[in-house]
Each structure stands twice: as structure tokens, then as C-alpha cells.
Chain A
Amino acid sequence: MSRDLRMDGVLRPPEITFTFAGQPISARQGETIAMALWVAGQKALRNSSKDGAPRGVLCNMGICYECLVRIEGAPVRACMVLATEGLNVEPGGKS
């Protein structure tokens, strides 16, 4: 990513780190998993069940279930769960 998508001049809480598919991702407190991954350039969150094509955030408000990822094996909507320090997030498999 050539430019930080977080807007300039905005006061934000401190940085935290979690992992996605084992890779460290930095987030700001208060950001959802989906938001932090989007800013990190990671737009694909799961693969479609049929052709394996990448899928990511569509509605960003908990409606569409396109952003499913896994935490401790359980599917969650990345746009509705806050990123927290040390969280291990895996891509969602088939929906």
C-alpha cells in the first residue's frame, strides 16, 4: 500500500497487533478486524466455496456474511469484531 488509508490529523488510541493467517497486522484500538485488515491491504478474507475466488468486506455492517473469518476455529464476522492485542485470526473457509 502506497499510502496509509487512516486519515491524517485524527487522534487515535494506541497501536495493537494481531495476526491474520499467521502474519502480524497492526491495528488501532477500536478498529474491527475487517477495518484493520483493509488498511493493511488485506482485502481478501475468505475464499468462495465453489471456485475458491477471494471474497472480502461488502456491507461492513454485519448483514452479508462475506467477511467471515475464524477465531479459535469459530466463524465470526470480521466487520463486527474488534481487533485486540494478540488475537489470532484465520481466513474464513467455505461459508
Chain B
Amino acid sequence: MSGARVLEAQVGIVGAGPGGMAAALHLARAGITVVLLDEGFRAGGQIYRQLPEGYDAGHRISEPPSHRAGNHLLDAVARERIRIVHGATVWNARPGQIYYEQNNESWLLACEQIVLAPGAYDRCVPFPGWTLPGVITAGAAQVMVRGFAVAPGQRALVCGTGPLLLPTVTALASAGVKVVAALEAAPRSAMWAALRGVIGNGARMREALFYARSLLRRGIRLQWGASVFAADGDGRVQSALIGKLDQQGAPRPETARRIEVDVICAGFGLVPAIELGLLLSCAARYDAPRGGHCLVVDEQQRTSVDSVYAVGEIVGIGGAEVAMAEGRVAGAAIAARLTSVSFDPRLALHARSERRAADAMLRAFQLRPGLFSICKPDTVVCRCEDVTSSQAAAAGELYGRTTRGIKMGCRAGMGPCQARICGLNLHDIFCDGVEPDLPVAQVPVKPVRTATMIDVPRR
């Protein structure tokens, strides 16, 4: 067969962010062969995203103190000469086999053990005008600044909720963007709740202080209990309607005001990227504060499938520190399996304490149900299939108010993104009171060329 190739390693790791890299490092140091597959062009994941080869921004791009750990990890991974396959789109997986496409070629990574560390993506909440070019996720804005040293615009609105808004604001400001407004949907009480949760976690306290200082220095004020209501413009974003939210998180129309912006960066939290875990038949559960459906793991990061481990965001949003700690645990657990070294339980204790701090923080930033009323009847909820809110509601009436029923009735969630963007919204807006359906992961989990799927490498 023509383009089909096979790569072999004892352990295959999906995702070269903090979790995947920490696992790889631990394994490589134990003498175990690993291959890291990553869809990006450089290691680091979204959080420690590096500029492309040949770029140097000096210290122009703002870096919080926590990035030091990321830089150490990147250096160590490079020193160990760990093999990273970049630009690899993983489209299918079975225990022992990971299928990916790279440069239009079909590849198989054959491995005894798998570590899933695919990270997360931004949670979106639909609002009028959010399909206009110029409305991007908070993550997208960070990619532009940290990944390409590009300012997403001249005048920005940053909105959404959760601890990621602050790095977005500082990244934009360091790129020379005027942050016209920074709106956190959670009420101010969330700030105190979050801070209480991280007391005793020195690193997280330092991080919070860093952001507080850098906002103060730039004269940017984070407004609590406020949100975008709508985006407007002729073919692109030219202005935004913003305002305050009430106790339930619903917009208070009398507070609405218009601001002139050319880019809107919206991030309503993060969603774990679990689809590969689902394909591998790993057990998952719904955990709203952790961002949605998460894989279930034991104290050694092992999923319900014996040879598959999961670390970081895929077992619940937690941030880089959690991912790194869990990556080390998975690495140590697999090393104990494949060699004669024994598992150090202190690693698991450390991971658990990082998790606790993250959970406390996330609970404070849960979306309040009223927020979804920024979505109007004619607002598009499923962007791939162009389904509006009223169409999705009608489908829910006819086919049952579950994400599955809505999908059946109006194709919402059946486009190329496989409901990654709309799935949770379909549930939160239309399926009151029911536990969300487990998302369905379909092969290919990411669209690849037909030739890639036909020309499958075999061992």
C-alpha cells in the first residue's frame, strides 16, 4: 500500500502539552521508548504555546510566573531527545493503536500503552452576532499573541468567565491591543470563593497576584457580573453591546451600552477534549464544574481500559499544574508496569492536591443558567449546520429535549466539529433538568482525507 506507514514505541502519547510532556519525560528517563503525537507545529500545547521556529519576541509577550515550569519542561523534553510528531491529526484509536494523518500521509503508531493528554478547548455561549468574523475565542486570541506575535485587533472586548480571562487580557495588552472592556460573567463573590480555594497553594496565589498587578499597571478593570450581549458589524465585528447580569446571570437590558471594537474574545470556560477516550471505550462521567464530560481514572491515572491512561484536562479542566502532576503520575505508573521500578505514591498525593485547588477555583466560575438568555430565537446555535435557537427548540419539542433528540430533529451537532462547539449549549439551553447525553465520537474524530482512512497501515 502506498502512503501507509507504521511507527513503533512502548508508549504512545497524544498531546505535547504539560501533561503529555511530563508523562513522556518520566517514561524516557526510565528508559522506555515514547512517541508524542501533537497537532501543533511546536511542543507546549495551548498553555505553553511557543512562537514558530525562527521567531524571537524577547520578553515582549507577557508571561505569568507559572510559565517558568513550562519552559523547564520544554527544555527537558528537548534534552532527552523525545520524539515528537508535529502536525499529527489523530483520527482513530484502539488499544495499542493510534491512527493519525500527517502531511497527507496515513500513519499508525503501534504502542503497548497509551496516554491521552489532548487538552481542552474553549467553551462558547451563543449570542447575537457571534458568527461575525472578528468574534473569536479567548484561546484563539492567545494563539495569535503567543503563537504568532500578532495582535488580534486594535480595540478588543474580552468577555466570558473563568481564570483564563486574565491571561487573555494581559496577552492582548502586551501585544499593544487596547482592551476596551474586560467582562467576567461571574459575580464578584466568585473572586473571593476562588481565592479562598487557592489559599495555601503558593503558586496559584503568586499567579493571581501577578495578574492583579499587571491589570492595575495597565489601568484595565475587570468588571464582574457583566457580559457581551451582542456583536454587530457589516461583514465583520465593528461594535459590541455589553452590560450587566442579574443574580441568575441573565442580561439586564437597561444596563446595555455599545462599545466600538474590532475584535471580541469570548471564553466561557474550557471543555475537556474527550473524544479519543470515547473511541477507546474509556468510561466517562458528566461533571459541570470540570467543564462537561470527563474521563474517569484511578489514582494512577488509568482509565477503565487497562492500557489507556489519561491526564490533565481530559479528566476535568484543571490547568497546567494539574496536567503536569498527573502526567508524572501516569509516567510513573506505566514505568512501574514496564520496568522493575516501583510507583512512588507521593506523586499521586501531589496530583490530588493540585486537583483540589483547581476544583475549588472552577466551582466558583460555573455558568449561571440565566446567561443563556443572551442567545435569542434567531441566534445560530450550531454553526456548522446553521441551526438557529428556535429551530433547535422546535426539534426538541418534536423529538425529545435531549441533545440526541435535537440532533435528530434539526442536524444541530452533526457537522464537522462533531458538536464540540454546540453540544453543551444544546444541553444547557434546551434540555432543562436532564443529565446531558454522552457525546458520540465518530471515526474519524477529526475529518481527514478519505485516502487516509482507506489506506490504513497494518502491522
Instruction: Return chain B residues, CB-CB under 8 Å to A68.
Output: 416
Instruction: Write out the residue numbers on chain A whose beta carbons fall within 8 Å of the beta carbon of B416.
Output: 65, 68, 95
- Which residues from chain B sit less than 8 Å from chain A, CB to CB? 39, 41, 46, 51-58, 60-61, 87, 89, 121-122, 124, 131-137, 139-141, 143-145, 147-154, 175-176, 235-236, 273, 383-386, 415-417, 420-421, 446-447, 449
Q: B144 contacts A38, CB within 8 Å?
A: yes
* A51, A55, A64: most-surrounded residue (chain B CB, <10 A): A64
Contact residues in B for A2 (Cβ distance below 8 Å)? 154
A65 and B150 contact, CB distance less than 8 A: no
Residues in B whose Cβ lies below 8 Å from that of A30: 41, 51-55, 148
Q: A5-B150, A95-B415 are in contact. Are A64 and B54 (CB under 8 A)?
A: no
Q: Which residues of A contact B385 (CB under 8 A)?
A: 49
A95: chain B residues at CB < 8 Å are 384, 415-416
Q: Are B137 and A59 in contact (CB under 8 A)?
A: yes
The number of residues on chain A lying at the interface, defined by a beta carbon within 8 Å of a beta carbon of chain B, is 46
- Picked from A51, A53, A60, A62, the residue with its CB within 8 Å of the CB of B136 is A60
Say whether B133 contacts A54, CB under 8 Å.
yes
Q: A38-B144, A95-B384, A95-B416 are in contact. Are A7 and B136 (CB under 8 A)?
A: no
Query: Chain B contact residues: over half helix, strand or loop, or mixed?
Result: loop
Give the residue name and chain of the B residue nearest to A50 (CB): B386
Report whether A10 and B133 are in contact in the complex, using a CB–CB cutoff of 8 Å: no
Nearest-neighbour CB distance to chain A for B313, whole angstroms, equals 13
Q: Give A20-53 interface residues, CB cut-off 8 Å to B.
A: 29-32, 35, 38-39, 43-45, 48-51, 53
Is B148 a contact partner of A59 (Cβ separation < 8 A)? no
A44 touches B152 (CB 8 A): no
Q: Given A10-B60, A29-B54, answer yes or no on A61-B133 (Cβ-Cβ < 8 Å).
A: no
Q: What are 18 inter-chain pairs, A to B, with CB distance below 8 A?
A: A3-B154, A5-B152, A6-B148, A6-B151, A7-B151, A10-B57, A10-B149, A11-B55, A12-B55, A13-B55, A32-B148, A35-B147, A38-B152, A57-B133, A60-B137, A60-B144, A61-B143, A75-B447
B151 surroundings in chain A (CB, below 8 A): 5-7
Task: Give the CA-CA distance A6 to B134 in the complex, in Å.
Answer: 17
Q: Which residues of A contact B386 (CB under 8 A)?
A: 48-51
Contact A58 B140 (CB under 8 A): yes
| A80 close to chain B: CB less than 8 A | yes
Establish whether residues A56 and B134, one from each chain, have CB atoms under 8 Å apart when the complex forms. yes
A87 interfacial by beta-carbon distance below 8 Å: no
Q: Given A9-B60, A58-B140, do A53 and B54 touch, yes or no (CB 8 Å)?
A: no
Taking the closest CB of chain A, its distance from the CB of B116, in whole angstroms, is 16
B52 / chain A contacts, CB cutoff of 8 Å:
13, 29-31
Partner of A38, one of B150, B383, B420: B150
Does A82 belong to the interface (CB within 8 Å)? yes
A63 touches B420 (CB 8 A): yes
Known: A7-B57, A59-B122. 10 other contacts (CB 8 A): A6-B149, A6-B151, A30-B52, A38-B144, A44-B236, A50-B386, A51-B386, A55-B133, A58-B135, A95-B415
CB distance from B386 to the nearest CB of A (A): 4
In the bound assembly, the distance between CA atoms of A48 and B407 in angstroms comes to: 19
Give the complex CA separation of A66 and B382 in angstroms.
Answer: 11
Once the chains are docked, how many angstroms separate the CA of A51 from the CA of B383?
Answer: 12
Tell me the bound Cα distance from A13 to B148 in angstroms: 12
Q: How far is the CA of A46 from the CA of B273 in the complex (A)?
A: 26
Residue of A nearest to B58 (CB): A9
Contact A12 B236 (CB under 8 A): no
